[in-house]
Structures are given as structure tokens and as C-alpha cells.
Chains A and B, each alone.
Chain A
Amino acid sequence: MNRMRRAGFFKSPIWFLVPVIIYYAAFWIRPTISVIIESFTDKSGVFSFANYVRLFSQKSMRTAFLNTILFTLGSAILQFILAFALALWLNKKFRFSNLVLFITLIPMAFPPAAVGILWKTGLYRFGWINSFLCSLGLMNPANPVDWMSFRNLYAVILLIIIDTWTVLPSVMIILLAGLQNFNKEFEEAGWVFGANKFQTLKDIVFPIMKPTIITAMILRMIAAVQVWLIAVMIFGYNVVPFLVERIAYNVDVITFAKYARKDAYTISVIVAAIVLISVSIYLRVSGEKQKGGEIA
């Protein structure tokens, strides 16, 4: 009896998680706790909400908040549709599919600095994007569009497009990997029973792909909320504020400001809270749908 219990205890899968937990305890929890404590204390180390109050009263923070939400929703939706379509298409083996896969993966390998140079040299009024559009006759070379003067919503849309160019392959890969497990016969069975393409997609592909889709979207949303580098490389600080861009601005540019550290840490906690809430909502909603589907 005793022996059985001991074997059961040692066979418990939790043991396999111990290394991960130790790793995170060592390298993640400590800095994170110090960040959280900093965010809830004032200069003298006394507990207070002052940091949060101060931040929420700033206009740039509200703009950053709005921009971040717009960016996250816009990029998540656009990237999901494109990546899913691309993954489904690439999953059908065709003549150059191998080559096309490699081509679509290239932007992912670009270092962030290179992405910055690539797009910045394009977005100048006399950059390559306008050169190309002029050579197609789509733009008047005497008075080309000044992309860099875009602000607010237009700038966010521009950033969504650039971000999509860079991260689309990484979303696609996850979906493509999920499709590997996908039994072609299911789809074919659907066809035999007279389902059209859309129905097959909705009733057969989506449910089977669900864990993968959820993973891909969650990871994407978490990354999208934390957008900053691309915005800073294209427009610089302050022009198109995002939440994490505010953190970087506090850490990088106004390093010695009275509240720079505190603000950076407090915004990180806010960002983490936002992501946590939206991910839980997303998980709950996507979980509920599954239940609903089962009942029907």
C-alpha cells in the first residue's frame, strides 16, 4: 500500500514541471515582484496608488491606451485571416509550395533593426514605396504622398500593415504545424456528404484546429499589446504612443526623470493586467463556444 502510494506520488506529472518552476522562480519571479512592488510604492517605499493615479491622468497615456487597443484588434484580426488563408493554401501541396513557404518565412528572419531601415527608407516622401508607385503610374512623382506625416489612426494602420509583413509568418507557422495533424480524410468526408467549402471549414477544420488557433491568437495578442519597437523605429518616440512605447520612453529617453522608473514599472503592471484580463475573456469565450457547439 505504502509502496503504491509512493510510486503514484513519484509518477505524478507535476514532477516534470519542477525544473520549469524553479527556472521561473529564479529568473522571472524575483524581478517581476520587484517591479510590482515598485509600482505600488511611492518614492519613500510606502504603499500607495499614486503611480497609477498620476499615469491615468496623463493625456499621452490615454492616447497610448487607445492606440494599443486599436493596434491589437486590427493586427490580430488581419493577421489571423491572412495567416489562416495562407496556411490552408500552403497545406495543399502544389508545384512551388516549398519555395513559396520559404519566401513567406523570410520576413520573420529579419532583425528588428533591418525591418526599421527597410520601411523607413520606403516611407520617406522620396523613398522606395513612392518610387515604385510612381513607376507603376499610380502616383504623381512631382508630389508624392508623405507617409511619414501620417498621424493618429492612419499611423496606427500603417504600423499594422508593417507589423503584419513582419510577423505574419510566425502566426502562419503555428497554424501550419497544427494542420499537420489534420486528417485529410475528415475534410474529404465532408465533401462527400455534400458540404461546401465554407461548411467544411466551419464544421470540420475549425473545431479540430481549435487548440492551435487559440494558441496562435493568444500569443499574437500578447505580442501585439506589447508593440513598441516598430513604432519607435518608424516614427520615433511620442509621435504614435503605445503603452509599452511609454515604458521604453521612460527607460530610454527620460532615464533620470523623477518618476521615470516608477512609471515604467507601473505601466508594465498595467499592460500585464490588460493582457491577463483580455486573454481570460478570450479563453472563456472560446471555451463557451465549444460547449455551445457540443450541445447543438
Chain B
Amino acid sequence: MSMRPGKLWSRTVFLLILATIASTVILPILYFLTISFASNYEAYQFPAKIFPTFSYSAQLRYNAEKDSYTLLLKKGSTYEAVKTTQDVSDFSLYCKSQLNVLLSSAAVQELFNKAKNTDHALPIKLKKDFFRNYIVFFILAEGSMCALFNSLKAAGWTILISLILGGVSGYIMARYKFKFSNTFSTSLLVVRMFPAVALSLPLVVYIMKMNLYDTSFALAIVYAVPNIALTAWITSSIFKGISVELEEAAMVFGATRLKTLMTITFPLAFPAIIASSLYAFLAAWNDSITALIMTNNNPTLALLVYRTVGSSTIPNLPAAGAVVLLVPSLIFTFIIKNYINQLWGKVAL
């Protein structure tokens, strides 16, 4: 009987934590997604909408004295005049570029005629071309497929280099004590301490001299510099957590060091290795600063996004570009998550 209130209590706390986490993560993302679907006109409306809209409630008014037409859009409980024109194609262009509404000249002419024959403002519904921002993004971002592959290549190489070099160092750091082992592990950290912003300048000059300019591999080399150290430290801390006795026991039973490593140690450290590969992937995938200096004709996707929509004064297209960039890395994270998750509680000691 006494368990009940306690259980109810812990359940409530549990649900509260769940709700807080979900909302702090998801809420900003929802608003962000909505902006990526917003037209220029909608992008800065207040209060901001949490979900994207599909159409506008609007009115079309004929101004007899000037023979012009005024478009009014619903804002709160009133309508706000946004565009007055006499010209059909001007109206159509405005709808396309500012409202993401595709109306042919004929359709506009029809609306104009109807409005002319109505005494008061004509209520109309303007349907949004929902994916307009994304379509525009792909029109602007020439060679996005190429850029996608460049990004994948750069990320793949970064992961390979960091995992192999970093993982080996991590294992050695955790398992062996040699003369310079402390010096080594600290100097790995020093690599991360030097701000990359300043280092990239001389490094780029050097890489150019090696004739690697404008290749994905050169990017991976730069990305791997801090990531090797990161991987080494993460994996070594995990290897340290795996008891040496376990490895020794296996070796007593005749397993070679390599076999022990592959069958006992490696599986136990797998989540950490996976986690490190996620860092390496994201570092390579999301970078546009290094790519800006080191590539020109073969941009990565992140650089392409930055180049095409980065300088927009309205955030809707940059948001759409960022979503395009985000999708592959979310897929990767999702796959990775399964591997981290797979070993949960299944570690047999």
C-alpha cells in the first residue's frame, strides 16, 4: 500500500523529465523547420508559428479611383495591405517571390476580374507551394549531388584516419606504460588546444604545396588533426575501464593478443569507437570554414549551402539549406545510435 504514492510520484517525475527534454530539444527545431517552409513574407511574422502554413487567408480589393488592385493578408483579426499594383505579371511575380504562391497570369487576371465586379474586398485563399524554398535551394545549388559525394568522401576519410590512428593510440595509452606515455597523451591534447582558426592559415599553405588543394582527402587530413586526439582520448578512457584481468584470462586460455583484442576488448569498447566516429563524421560534415579555404571547384555540401544561401537577409532559404544538410547527418546519427544502444546492458563481464 505504501508503495503506491511513491510509484505515482516517481512516474510523474519521470514523465516531467521526459516532457522537459522533449520540449527543449524539439520546440526550437519545430520553429526552425517552420521557418524553412516560410515565405519571405511569413519569415518574420509575430507571433511566430510553430507549424508551417499551407495557405493564406487573403482579400483582393479593387481601387476604382486608381484602377489598381490591393492584396491584403490576414494578420491576427485584421487584414494588412501588402501589395498594390495594376499589372498582372507584377502581381504574379510578387506572389511567387514573396509569398511562395504560384499563380499564372491567367489565374491572376481571373482574380482581378472577380475583384472588379465585387463591391467590397474579395475574400480569397492563396495556396502555398509548400516545398518552394527547397525547390529554389536546389535550383541555386548547382552540383549538389557532386557536393554530397564530396562530403561523404571527406567524412569517410576523416573517420577512417581518426579511428585507425586514434584508436590504436588510445589502446596503447590505456594498456602500456612506457617512458613517454604521459607526455604522449598530454601532447595529443595539446593538438586540440591550439585554436584551429589560427592554424588553418599556415596549414592550408602547406597542403597547397603538397598539391592536395581542392580534394576531399586534403579536407579529411585537416579534419582528422583534432579528431585523432579526440578518438585516442575517448577510446583510451574506455579501454582503461575494461579490466585487464579479462584480457589476461583470455590469454591464459591460449588466445593470442590479437585474438583477445578482437573478441574481448574490441566488442567492449565498440560503443566508444562508434561514438568517436560520430564526432569525426559531424566535424567533417558540418564544416564550411576550412572547406571555404581549401576547396574551390569541388565544394562539400556544407560549403555549397553556405555559398548559395548563406548571405540571405531572410532566414527561410538558409534554413531550408541547413535542413538539406541536416538530413544525412541525422540518418547517420540514427544508425550510430542503434550501435550505441545495441550494447546496452548486454555487456557480459
Contacts and interface: CB of A to CB of B under 8 A. Distances in A.
A74 interface: no
B18 to A, nearest CB: 7
A205 interface: no
Interface string B278-322: 110010011010000000000000100110001000010011001
B195 A208 contact: no
A251 interface: yes
Nearest to B230: A219
Interface string B15-34: 00110011011111101100
A238 B315 CA distance: 23
Contacts, number: 265
B-side interface size class: 35 or more
Given A23-B161, A117-B322, 20 more contacts: A20-B169, A20-B232, A23-B224, A34-B202, A98-B337, A100-B18, A102-B333, A102-B334, A107-B29, A108-B278, A109-B326, A109-B332, A117-B32, A134-B47, A181-B347, A209-B241, A244-B197, A264-B198, A268-B194, A272-B190
A32 B46 CA distance: 49
Interface stretch (A51-59, A89-97, A147-155, A195-203): A89-97
For B194, B271, B286, the residue with the greatest tally of chain A CB atoms inside 10 Å of its CB is B194
Interface in B320-336: 322-323, 325-326, 329-330, 332-334
Interface of B: 14, 17-18, 21-22, 24-29, 31-32, 35, 44, 46-48, 50, 161, 165-166, 168-169, 171-172, 175-176, 178, 180, 184, 186, 189-199, 201-203, 206-207, 221-222, 224-225, 228, 230, 232-234, 236-238, 240-242, 268, 271-272, 275, 278-279, 282, 285-286, 288, 302, 305-306, 310, 315, 318-319, 322-323, 325-326, 329-330, 332-334, 337, 340-341, 343-345, 347, 349
A113 B329 CA distance: 14
Interface stretch (A1-9, A122-130, A288-296): A122-130
A101 interface: yes
A215 B170 CA distance: 12
Given A16-B172, A101-B341, A180 B228 contact: no
B201 A251 contact: yes
B18 A96 contact: yes
A-side interface size class: 35 or more
Given A219-B230, A268-B199, A117 B279 contact: no
Given A104-B25, A126-B46, A208-B241, A275 B340 contact: no
A119 B195 CA distance: 24
A124 B31 CA distance: 13
9 contacts: A20-B232, A23-B161, A24-B191, A24-B228, A111-B322, A112-B286, A113-B306, A177-B340, A268-B194
Given A35-B202, A98-B341, A120-B315, A214 B279 contact: no
